[in-house]
Structure 1
Amino acid sequence: MSALAPTPLYRQLLPARFDDLPPTVRALHERVGFHRYHGKVEVERGHGVLSCLCAWATRLPAEGRGTIDVEIDSTLHRERWARIINGRAMRSRLWASDGLLCERLGLVTFGFRLDVEALGSGHAVVWRVAKVRALGVPLPRRWFDGVVAREYERDHRYRFDVNAAMPWIGRLVHYRGWLDVG
């Protein structure tokens, strides 16, 4: 009896909509094993004390423009990501739980609800926060209404746009760019 091939996280979480995604988005999320992608990124950061503290706790990238390398190591149940921006790595672990894409970034674990939405002439994956725990302590979800990420395709390139802001704190980070996904 042969072992079944693993079902990638996005296909698990978007079973009815995964095939609606643009080719570069599907390709990035359906590959199993280790893969590295190269591109460009622009990062804007908040500058207040609380914004900087939150960014440190989640290991968010520094402000600037430059290159990005994304390394994804995908196994049966988990993925490890390293987003290397201008030589500095932002590492995270991802897994599926209770219908959410969970991501551990530094001291914080997020549970994201993934949706597929129309964007221009195609579709985008949209990440929205459904739950958050910092050092194991649950935080009010409404604090994270200003955190949203989109993955889409434009000009045959995988694109990402991640914006994180919180009430009373303001912008934590806004990073956007592209990756070559061959």
Structure 2
Amino acid sequence: MTPVFRRVLGDTFDTLAPQVRALHDVDRTMVWKGEATITRGTHWLVPFFALTTQLPPSASNVATQVTLAPDGDGETWRRDFGGARMASRYRAWNDRLIEKLGLVEFYFSLGEHDGELLWATSGVRLLGLIPLPPTWFARVRCRERQTGDRFEFLVEAALPWVGRIIRYEGWLERT
């Protein structure tokens, strides 16, 4: 079975930085460990969004573990940010990546620039059924890159009328 990110990216997968490729070349269960800093927004709706998508609380330099496992036609990622757990499932659909995170499904277009993997939101569905306006989610994105021998990530989510929902960034190394 071809890993999900390789299916979505095609030949572009091979142009990613080595550590970015290694994290996404999921052909068996893998564990990556590192550190992250998490900043949640302050709008009164942020706790509701965090609950429905299992977002971790704000924390600085917290021990982080990500377990990636292939399952059927996709992958399950289990993240642990210092005891705060967040799980999501990924699958390929045409040339897009779908992430099911709590009650929400995000559709991402993936791209590469100078070895970095860039995620841009192209659609969102609540409960897998109800489409939400994509313009609301234009500021939900991710950047993954390699610095030295480390995989680095930056995830940001903001909504027009709420501002920042969450931002988390850090690094991981394969164990």
For normalisation by structure 1, the TM-score amounts to: 0.91
Quote the residue 1:131 is aligned against.
123
Residue identity in the other structure for 1:174 = R
Task: Select which of 94, 99, 113 maps to 2:90.
Answer: 94
Cα RMSD (Å) of the superposition? 1.1
Q: Which has the larger radius of gyration?
A: 1
Quote the residue 2:63 is aligned against.
67
Tell me the secondary structure at the aligned position of residue 17 of structure 1.
helix
Deviation of the 1:76 alpha carbon: 4.9
Quote the residue 1:85 is aligned against.
81
CA distance in 1, matches of 2:120, 2:17: 20
List per-residue Cα deviations over 1:78-132 (Å, max 9, x = no partner): 10111100112100111011221100111100111101113xxxx2111111110
Task: Select which of 23, 27, 30 maps to 1:28.
Answer: 23
Deviation of the 1:51 alpha carbon: 2.0
Task: Select which of 163, 166, 181 maps to 2:156.
Answer: 163
- Contact between 1:32 and 1:75, CA under 8 Å: does it hold in 2? no
Deviation of the 1:40 alpha carbon: 0.3
Segments of 5+ residues of structure 2 without an aligned counterpart are none
- Contact between 1:8 and 1:76, CA under 8 Å: does it hold in 2? no
- Contact between 2:9 and 2:95, CA under 8 Å: does it hold in 1? no
CA distance in 2, matches of 1:163, 1:45: 10
For normalisation by structure 2, the TM-score amounts to: 0.95
Runs of 4+ aligned residues of structure 1 deviating over 4 Å after TM superposition are none
Residue identity in the other structure for 1:175 = Y
Quote the residue 1:148 is aligned against.
141
Residue identity in the other structure for 1:37 = W
Aligned identity (percent) is: 37
Quote the residue 1:177 is aligned against.
170
Residue identity in the other structure for 2:136 = W
Tell me the secondary structure at the aligned position of residue 158 of structure 2.
strand
List per-residue Cα deviations over 1:7-60 (Å, max 9, x = no partner): 111111111211111111111111312111110000000121112211221111
Count residues with an aligned counterpart: 173
